[in-house]
């Protein structure tokens, strides 16, 4: 389902490099990346565990049934216990009666939340980022700066970069003003780079970030 290709450990003396593109889709430079952030080996078990936890935390409780105590109706015994020839019954709200309560049905007080250890969550993010880099699914641009804050500009940028499939567009603090323009682009989701998470990274094949966002990620996670 959601799979990261297994990779080898990198030597500490060799740093990964990625090409940096301008908004016209032309390579302008190379950027060295920290192995502590972008050079981790695959760990599918950890990533799956964190992904499932995040999906559970997003789950909404919709189904809700009423027990016999919540159904409307009189609590008086419909007829006497014996002597009528009919089956004995204590309430019209009985689960075996029409319009009665539901036995063992789903209720709105169910809790699907799962706790995620902070260190596990951070490591899973770094593993997925490393997998994106190794699989060629991460595109780095020198800066995200549009002439006009319009959807058409974002669509043109993505087209010139040649990125296809579902895209997660990460914005740094200085680039957030352009996030609004990417909301209506098909198969594109935008996110503040400080809010990157395993769920969004795994649900979108490609990641587009700027050099500024890369610098933020390395500063944030190199301290872990």
Distance CA 96, CA 92 (A): 9
Whole-structure pTM value: 0.81
CA distance to 26, 81, 130, per residue, from 160 (Å): 9, 81, 24
- Domains along the sequence of the chain with CATH: 16-59+118-221 (3.40.1370.10), 62-111 (no CATH)
Q: Is the pLDDT of residue 6 over 70?
A: no
Could you report the per-residue pLDDT of 29-66, keeping only the tens digit for each? 999 999 999 999 999 999 999 999 999 999 999 999 99
**Strand pairing report for 206-210 and 167-171:** parallel
Q: Which residue has the tokens 């994106």?
A: 132
Residue 7 CA to its chain's centroid (Å): 23
pLDDT at position 3: 40
Report the 10 Å Cβ neighbour count for 61. 12
Residue-wise pLDDT for 104-137, tens only, equals 999 998 999 999 999 999 999 999 999 999 999 9
What is the reported pLDDT for 10? 39
pLDDT of residue 223: 66
User: What whole-number distance in Å separates Cα of residue 177 and Cα of residue 104?
Assistant: 50
pLDDT of residue 224: 52
Quote the pLDDT of residue 7: 39
136 torsion bin: left (phi>0), alpha (psi -120 to 50), beta (else):
left
């Amino acid at each position: 389902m959601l799979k990261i290709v297994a990779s080898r450990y990198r030597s500490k003396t060799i740093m990964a490099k990625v090409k940096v593109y301008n908004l016209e889709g032309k390579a302008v430079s190379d950027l060295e990346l920290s192995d502590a952030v972008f050079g981790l080996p695959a760990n599918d078990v950890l990533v799956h565990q964190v992904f499932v936890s995040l999906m559970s935390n997003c789950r909404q409780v919709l189904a809700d049934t009423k027990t016999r105590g919540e159904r409307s109706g009189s609590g008086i015994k419909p007829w006497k216990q014996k002597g009528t020839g009919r089956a004995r019954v204590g309430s019209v709200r009985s689960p075996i009666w029409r319009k009665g309560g539901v036995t063992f049905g789903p209720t709105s007080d169910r809790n699907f939340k799962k706790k995620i250890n902070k260190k596990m969550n951070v490591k899973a993010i770094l593993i997925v980022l490393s997998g994106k880099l190794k699989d060629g699914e991460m595109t780095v641009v020198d800066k995200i700066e549009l002439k006009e804050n319009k959807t058409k500009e974002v669509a043109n940028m993505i087209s010139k970069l040649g990125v296809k499939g579902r895209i997660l567009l990460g914005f740094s603090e200085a680039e957030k003003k352009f996030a609004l323009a990417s909301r209506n682009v098909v198969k594109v989701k935008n996110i503040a780079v400080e809010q990157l998470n395993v769920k969004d990274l795994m649900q979108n094949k490609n990641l587009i970030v700027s050099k500024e966002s890369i610098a933020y990620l390395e500063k944030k996670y190199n301290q872990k």
